[in-house]
Structure 1
């Protein structure tokens, strides 16, 4: 049986995965405890620890499109010319700016800028675990439900395309592939979700795996 709107709301309600900025605590023990409690690139690599320096706040929207025949997740592919993460699959989102009141506002603002989805079309229902990247970002994944039709107008400078992946595909653990590759002198493991010729990996795959854990039966 697929995940319904009601089930998603129930599973996300009241989750408090982590407090923004706690990882930058002046108390080393407190900061370390926070970092190791978070999700991140280090999850599959026990010998790798999260960055010990101050983390850059970021927020992404995990948009659940509530189609009549089942939910899907809206993702984007970044343009090939970008300096960072060129061509990669990602959620709409970005850095939390000083003008943003909170993580939710940042995720909704970035989504509207990147794919043209008006913030008033998104019903925010909760958030997933904070995700720490090896490049020093502390990502707040904000989950929201969107009723179709979804008005999409991509920013062609940042976004090559926007597409949907069925939630049923994401919930199927058989699609969560664990891949290893050599990075420098070490092997690094990470999740990959191959979908219709696209490889969803890195932070995006890690957040989708967390979504599957939260919504699973």
Structure 2
């Protein structure tokens, strides 16, 4: 990846935000992932987020696609469809069935990029991989970081895996419900996450959470725009 001035990239971003967490290591890994996907992002018809922790990286990749389209001469390119499913619950057949049924309901899902924040053992993401394979979907798997080198993982994952860094950097986006806006559903049969503010009764708490979520969305847009400019300048 070309040199990126991360202080400039994060200029004006709240130091308490998810993008500054762990000295911005997560954002660096996300930028590395974007660089690896720079020539592939528009191959995907759909981004499928392994929610809830995969939500922020997924929204960031979608915004990068929007910004890249603005910088591209090919105005026919469109940002991919984006769907969010609640994975990561091992061995729950009812959840497996709910996610599979949701994917079946999207007949034009096309080539898909399955996005998560971090791959450790790979067990969680393999549950979603099984579903996509069973439905005959052409897909890849993306994460800001992975814990081990690719050869450590199942061939079903390794052959599709695109990652920004090796290490724990992607955990900066883990369990960030108050910034991403969602958490694992309390409904154990649901294919989708639950808005985190639904867990609270007080309106003041709901408003505070919504403020964090709105701020994060704005930060995603600003950072993606700056990163896109930096990457396009590097390619000239």
TM-score strictly above 0.5: no
| TM superposition score normalised by structure 2 | 0.26
Q: Which has the higher strand share?
A: 1
More helix by share: 2
